Structure 1
Amino acid sequence: MSVAALVLRRLALLLVLLTLVFVVVAVLPGDAARMALDRNASPELLAAKRHELGLDRPLPQRFWHWLTGVLTGDFGTTVRGRPVSDLLAAAAPQTLLLGGLALLLTVVAALGLGMCWAAKPSGWLARILQPSTAMVVALPEFVVAALLITVFSFAIGLLPAVTVAGSSGFPARPDMLVLPVLALALPHIGWNTRVVRGALGDAGRAPHVEQAVLEGVSRRRLLIRHVLPVALPTIVASVATTVGMLFGGALVVESLFNYPGLGALLAGSISDRDTALTAATAAVAGAVIMAILLLSDGVRAWAVRGRR
């Protein structure tokens, strides 16, 4: 498939996602105008607010108006009158911090564990990693988060379960990042550890590697100099896919830990029935994930060409 076809397919999927977001928020019980006003607001004031927010227009017209604005860089305003772009700009750095730390932990842990597993496939560490990585891969982020909170916050009292934002907008203390980062990273560490181990195992059966073994090359040098370069394209493609998955998972984890990022912004927008803010947050997340998946597709294509 050509690059243009891949881009068009990803854009079509993003458009479908935004359409679904708009429709789902619109059919949820509640009224954005009532959320923005006092509960005792008069019917006249409520009708005026609905007209101001464009809620009296058909849903397809509202969606088209919002979409054409996004194409010109205008994400609109929230039901409370704040520019959506300002809220996104304030929340995005926190999500990038959380996702960046989780990605760093994922890459370091997966490479280290996967290489140890490949070096000693019958050792004690391999016997631990075989079931444990399968278990964490099967658990979604919100289940991992709930388990971490139960153990480290409620049972031990070692780490905070709730994030408190400081004056800068970031978490007030570094230890408030530990549980959200772990909840986000652990499933991906499990998956990428298995990918690294499998890629190294496949690369270890290459003819030049077998020749190096016959020549008496040490196990460490064999792994780093001969096996890892062959396995690297597969590992890089897995990590590229993980970046997009981390960004999507961050939206869930942030809501659970009250982390001040895009996830909390998304949860608040749904609570307010704010379709513009909800769709804008989904658009940013979807665009980032789409770009990462395109990068992953490119890495896979490069790896396939490199093996021919």
Structure 2
Amino acid sequence: MAGPLSAGAPAGGTALPSRPAGRILAGAALRFGGLLARRALLLAALLAAVFAAVELLPGDAADATSERGETAADTTRRRALLGLDRPVAERFLDWMTALPTGDLGTSARGERVADLLAGPFPNTLLLGGLALLLTVAVSVGLGCWAALRPGGAVDRTVSATATGILALPEFVVAVALVLVFALWTGLLPAVTTADADGAPATASMLVLPVLALAVPQIGWNTRIVRAALADEAKAPHVETAVLDGLAPRRVLVHHLLPGALPAIATGFATSTGMLLGGAVVVETVFNYPGIGAVLAGAVGDRDTPVIAGVVMVTGAVITCVLLLADLVRARAAGGRI
């Protein structure tokens, strides 16, 4: 009588070759490292584009920050002090070389860029993080609600409303919210004031900016969630679960959502960049103490290190979120990145 088959052996009794766990982990780490390197190169290319774009603007930081009564000789000395008399490629390489140490350079007004961003950037992260959480909660809820009744009145209403909302720019939503909730009803403050630490003075001051950021992204991601669930509903295992008579909610939670998760995660990762980009506009409307005012001032000053510093920190956050989305897709695909 033949003995029991060893684990991993086929019915014929011949053992299948197995890959050592260490080799699998090494391969996954190598693929993840390659993905991280590609993201880092993309960010470096974006930073190079920032340096080149500022260089093409009329004037430079020495002209923009000159004081009344300064002579041309004074401006020339400041230009040399700021290194603006050097080629832009050389200045970019120096800035990138110092970046691994956490040095984002010095602004045209003599402030360390890292110190300049230390206060406003956490406020922008708070605003964008709250808007992302609201976007995730509402869009997943609406998309799942519509998926429970495919083709019904709820599905049609949610899809039509989401399409209309995603076409609204953040500043339009912000102005409408100010009119309704601040000017007409007086329920919420229209302007953000900072406390001694530079953060919003009260939690109520976050409500309108968060809504202004989140509403367009809710429309965008609701459509993504609904489309991902509709595509997954065509899968054979989902159709089998429906034919077996499982409850719609059980089919949704145990069969639809796991398969649709990679597409949904990609949508939310993309929204992170849109939220941080839209935060610059929304912060201006609500006088929010974030990086929007810093960036606007830096563009006016032609202050390349500050502009590049803002792009660097926001790009690093977006890159991390995109990597998380890549890991979610990899897990859903059986561990392949």
> Does TM-score exceed 0.5, indicating one fold?
yes
Task: Give the C-alpha shift of residue 15 in structure 1.
Answer: 2.1
| Bigger radius of gyration | 2
The amino acid across from 1:120 in the alignment is: R
> Is the deviation greater in 48-57 or in 275-284?
48-57
Q: Which residue of 2 aligns with 1:291?
A: 320
Aligned-partner Cα distance in 1 for 2:65–2:239: 69
**1:105 matched to 2:134:** yes
C-alpha distance after superposition, 1:142-194 (max 9, x if no partner): 34334433444455554333322221211122222122111211122112212
Greater Cα shift, 103-112 or 184-193: 184-193
Q: After alignment, is 254-263 or 101-110 more displaced?
A: 254-263
User: Given the alignment, which residue of 166, 169, 173 partners 1:140?
Assistant: 169
Determine if contact 2:174/2:212 at 8 Å carries over to the other structure: yes
If asked which structure has higher relative contact order (CA below 8 Å, sep 6+), I would say 1
Tell me the number of residue pairs that the alignment of Structure 1 and Structure 2 aligns: 307
Unpaired runs of 5+ residues, structure 1, are none
* 1:240 counterpart = 2:300: no
Q: Which moved more, 1:293-302 or 1:13-22?
A: 293-302
Question: Structure 1 or 2: larger helix share?
Answer: 1
Find the partner of 2:231 among 202, 212, 224.
Answer: 202
Other-structure match for 1:181: 210
Q: Is residue 107 of structure 2 the alignment partner of residue 41 of structure 1?
A: no
| 1:225-253 residue CA offsets vs partner (Å, 9 max, x unmatched) | 34333333332333233333323332332
Counterpart amino acid of 2:226?
R
Query: Secondary structure of the equivalent of 1:280?
Result: helix
Worse-matched range after superposition: 12-21 or 279-288: 12-21
1:27 corresponds to which residue? 56
Map Cα deviations across residues 259-283 of structure 1 (whole Å, 9 max, x no partner): 2112222112112221111111111
Decide whether the 8 Å contact of 1:234 with 1:303 is kept in 2.
Answer: no
State the distance in 1 between where 2:163 and 2:186 align.
Answer: 28
Given residue 74 of structure 1, which amino acid in structure 2 is its aligned partner? D
Q: Which 10-residue stretch deviates more, 249-258 or 280-289? A: 249-258
Q: What is the aligned partner in structure 1 of residue 333 from structure 2?
A: 304
Which residue does the alignment assign to 1:261? Answer: 290
SS in 2 for 1:284: helix
Partner of residue 199, structure 2 = 170
Q: Does 1:223 align with 2:257?
A: no
Identical residues among aligned pairs (%): 54
One-letter identity of the residue aligned with 1:105: L
Q: CA deviation at 1:80?
A: 1.6
Output the CA distance in 2 between the equivalents of 1:155 and 1:34: 44
Deviates more, 1:154-163 or 1:16-25: 154-163
- 1:68-103 deviations in Å (ceiling 9; x for gaps): 222332112112211111122212210111011101
Superposition CA RMSD, Å: 2.6
Q: 1:58 to 1:232 in 2, by over 3 A?
A: closer
2:108 aligned partner: 79
Residues of 2 paired with 1:169 and 1:186: CA distance? 26
SS of residue matched to 1:161 = coil
Say whether the 8 Å CA contact 2:162–2:222 is kept in structure 1: yes
1:11 aligns with 2:40: yes
The alpha carbon displacement at 1:258 in A equals 2.4
CA distance in 1, matches of 2:287, 2:69: 29
Tell me which residue corresponds to 1:62: 91
Distance in 2 (CA, whole Å) between partners of 1:229 and 1:299 is 11
Matched residues in 1 for 2:114 and 2:276: separation?
19
Conserved 8 A contact 2:284-2:293 = yes
Equivalent positions of 1:92-131 (< 5 A) are 92-131=121-160
| Structure 1 pair 306–122 and aligned structure 2 pair: CA distance change class (3 A) | farther
- Distance in 1 (alpha carbons) for counterparts of 2:101 and 2:300: 27
Rounded Cα–Cα distance in structure 2 between residues aligned with 1:31 and 1:240: 35
Give the Cα–Cα distance (whole angstroms) in 1 for the partners of residues 258 and 108 of structure 2. Answer: 53
Provide, for residues 271-298 of structure 1, a one-character-per-residue CA deviation record: whole Å limited to 9, x for no partner.
2221111111111112222232233233
SS of structure 2 residue aligned to 1:74: coil
Matched, 1:274 2:303: yes
Extract structure 1 runs of 4+ deviating beyond 6 A.
none
